[in-house]
Structure 1
Amino acid sequence: MVKNKISIHNKSDKPDNIVLKENEIIERCLEIENHLPNFMKDFFLYLKSGVALSTRLAYLEDVLFFCKYLVTESNLTEADSTKLISINEFNQITAKDINRFLGDYCSRYTMENGEYIKVIENRNRALARKKSTLSVLFKFLYRDEIIEKNITDGFNPIRLPKPQPDAIKRLEIDEVARMLDIIDNGSTFTDKEKIYWEKTKYRDKAIIILFVTYGLRVSELQQLNISSFNFNRGDFKIYRKRGKEVLMPLNKTCEKVIKEYITQQRSPDHSLDDIDKDALFLSLQNKRMTIRAIRNLVKKYTSLALGTSRDNGYSPHKLRATAATSLIQQGFSIYDVQNLLDHDNVTTTQLYAAHKKDVKREIVKNFEWLDEI
């Protein structure tokens, strides 16, 4: 069935592209809900009002995955579709059943993909997310008296490795400089690659500098519009997780590279479709760049800066870590960096502060009390 073209009647402060993206997520959520049992309707309402939109989608995908497991891989239901699973059958599920689902099935399973069989392995972090989803679901059903027992206390713990500051992947300052030089002169590219580089170098430089200056999330950068920027006031607007609208100050470097891109490389509005006229970063097809394209771009340039293969290049999130570490090394407090990067908890920011240990060593080394030393 061909979907009707969507018309946006937007009376909010959000740009149309963000409203459209949110609508796509909402439609996906509703589609999943239609495949889940009716007794979960109040749970759907709870997710709609209680968590971020992206979290709502992630929870629903996990619940649907669990219900598919019940139908196709277990003897816990007689239903032949996820929609027909009954309350009584859900009421009979025990903590042991959940532990078997997480520990035995989820850790490694297969999916048929056309003529191929895809083997999927999940690490503890993915298993912990599925466990969290089921904990929320079963606690809600118990609270709403849909099931008789709260089985979540019997869920096995899933050990997650403690983040180690020294293991955080990020670029050093000299590697960032090397990456910017590569974008400027294209010296590492073949003649064929230089044809593409000439068409995108101003755009690519603006993207990289925004990442390493502000530590933006890839979705925050992908959603940027020309109208997001107020050059007279020296700021620009981004939309963060949970729909938070934030004004970011614009420094001279970022203003310069963005204006260069807009004036020297970005296609004029008259050559664009209405939906893409306000988009800041465009592909060569004159469409708003996708998150996947931005990831590939970052991987390409970071791999060149690191002198490694394209597969071993860094993701945009590693440039977020680069920004955090560089700011702390410049002497900014972890609380200022926490605010800039939108970390929910300052302990996340403290992981990057641990990289200052070399600075501490230099301070102590040059601070001797005994003259003869």
Structure 2
Amino acid sequence: MLIDNKVLKIHNKSDKPDNIVTRNNDLIERCILIEKKLPKFMKDYFIYLKGSVAVSTRLAYLEDIKFFCSYLIETKELTNAYEISEISLKEFEAIKARDVNLFLGDYCTRYYKQSSSTTLIYENNNRALARKKSSISTLFKFLYRNEQLVDNITDGFNPIKLPKPQPDAIKRLEIDEVAKMLDSVESGYGLTEKEKVYWRKTKLRDKAILALFVTYGLRLNELRELNISSFNFSRGEFKIYRKRGKEVLMPINHTCELVIKDYIYNERPQSEMLIEEYKDALFLSLQNKRLNPKAIRQLVKKYTSISMETSRDGGYSPHKLRATAATSLIQNGFSIYDVQNLLDHDNVTTTQLYAAHKKHVKRDIVNNFEWIEDDSNLD
């Protein structure tokens, strides 16, 4: 990592592993770079974000606000500035709710970016527009509360309707498809000859990754950031780092313990052979680096496509394995509150969507539990 052409070294006195500290620092550095480009009058807002939201959320808000300020410069209707940093508080005071609604409803839905050789077309769905609206709302509300703006214009922002999640539309693997997926990574079934070349070198790693996904419903980054030191096999537990910096101890079941130990002892390169940065990283690429998100998505897509007998493009993402874990647990009788706790859902209504898949189990129960005999079947 470089700052002003100097190598940045982490002096870590926390109990978090270096990779988590480094990841958070990378996000913070990106936040600082954006803040330097934004108007000076937003400084108090930057301090507010530091203490009130997760660093990943802070970065997302700053990126959206920078995008909004770029729009102000580009349209030249609401500012005379040529650079984002030159936009004044007085010009922000003149912005009305209608201006923000035009930005969100007209400009953001479809806009163009020119390069030397191409024109890129960007489109945002309602979910992306809602996030941008939220980012801009937090800024205007803060400036109003901070007595930098006279009026709170956010009440005039148009609502953005989001599609209501439908339980039947949740994509996940069925139990028999999970079995087929794990059999594929065990035997190489369904892989092309070219894929088998890599499979022979990574099958234990891939099996451990898939087992963790479908057992615990981990998020991609929660799995990617796992270290060997995350696991305490004598206590039967491992530690993960969730959103908003939460540390969580998870009990490790027998199956996952077996596949992880099998990978560590029989396939993963010995730590002495690795550079310092990756000595503790659990899941490594063939280049002996921590496995990147793209590679994890690709391997999940590959094995899920085999289990569903579809094309590689038709395979599922790691998030669909999170949904698979949720529905499987509920179908096996665990309460939605237990599953909510395991998967770290902020709201139980999210977990209830997966519980809706259990309705066919209820139907099977009552259909096979008749108290009154049907006379029409008696001859």
Q: Same fold (TM over 0.5)?
A: yes
Paired residue for 2:164? Answer: 162
Give the C-alpha shift of residue 2 in structure 1. 6.8
Pick one of 182, 204, 207 that aligns with 2:184: 182
Aligned length: 373
Aligned-partner Cα distance in 2 for 1:149–1:328: 48
Query: SS state of the match for residue 119, structure 2?
Result: strand
Paired residue for 1:257? Answer: 259
Paired residue for 1:230? Answer: 232
TM-score by length of 2: 0.97
Give the C-alpha shift of residue 4 in structure 1. 2.0
Give the C-alpha shift of residue 271 in structure 1. 1.4
Aligned-partner Cα distance in 1 for 2:243–2:96: 34
Paired residue for 1:313? Answer: 315
Superposition CA RMSD, Å = 1.1
Letter in 2 for 1:271: M
Aligned-partner Cα distance in 2 for 1:87–1:186: 62
Letter in 1 for 2:304: T
Pick one of 62, 87, 96 that aligns with 2:98: 96
Paired residue for 1:192? Answer: 194
Paired residue for 1:301? Answer: 303
Deviations 1:67-106 (CA, angstroms, capped at 9, x unpaired): 0000012411000010000011000000000000000000
Give the C-alpha shift of residue 372 in structure 1. 3.0
Give the C-alpha shift of residue 114 in structure 1. 4.8
Aligned-partner Cα distance in 2 for 1:331–1:325: 10
Give the C-alpha shift of residue 110 in structure 1. 1.3
Paired residue for 1:118? Answer: 120
Aligned-partner Cα distance in 1 for 2:238–2:349: 27
Aligned-partner Cα distance in 2 for 1:113–1:339: 47
Query: SS state of the match for residue 37, structure 2?
Result: coil
Aligned-partner Cα distance in 1 for 2:113–2:5: 28
Report the CA distance shift for 1:171/1:113 in structure 2 as closer, same or farther (over 3 A).
farther
Paired residue for 1:40? Answer: 42
Paired residue for 2:25? Answer: 23
Pick one of 354, 357, 377 that aligns with 1:355: 357
Paired residue for 2:56? Answer: 54
Deviations 1:229-261 (CA, angstroms, capped at 9, x unpaired): 000000000000110000000000000000010
Deviations 1:88-145 (CA, angstroms, capped at 9, x unpaired): 1000000000000000000001123452221111000000000111111101011111
Aligned-partner Cα distance in 2 for 1:271–1:3: 28
Query: SS state of the match for residue 34, structure 1?
Result: helix
Give the C-alpha shift of residue 191 in structure 1. 2.3
Gaps of 5+ in 2: none
Query: SS state of the match for residue 7, structure 2?
Result: coil
Letter in 2 for 1:6: L
Gaps of 5+ in 1: none
Deviations 1:38-69 (CA, angstroms, capped at 9, x unpaired): 00000000000000111000000000000000
Pick one of 210, 235, 259 that aligns with 2:212: 210
Paired residue for 1:134? Answer: 136
Letter in 2 for 1:248: M
Paired residue for 2:154? Answer: 152
Aligned-partner Cα distance in 1 for 2:115–2:220: 29
Pick one of 76, 83, 91 that aligns with 1:81: 83
Paired residue for 2:328? Answer: 326
Q: In terms of mean alpha carbon deviation, does 180-189 or 77-86 score higher? A: 180-189
Query: SS state of the match for residue 208, structure 1?
Result: helix
Give the C-alpha shift of residue 371 in structure 1. 2.3
Give the C-alpha shift of residue 349 in structure 1. 0.3
Query: SS state of the match for residue 48, structure 2?
Result: helix
Deviations 1:323-354 (CA, angstroms, capped at 9, x unpaired): 00000000000000000000011000000000
TM-score by length of 1: 0.98
Report the CA distance shift for 1:112/1:311 in structure 2 as closer, same or farther (over 3 A).
farther
Give the C-alpha shift of residue 310 in structure 1. 1.8
Report the CA distance shift for 1:339/1:107 in structure 2 as closer, same or farther (over 3 A).
same
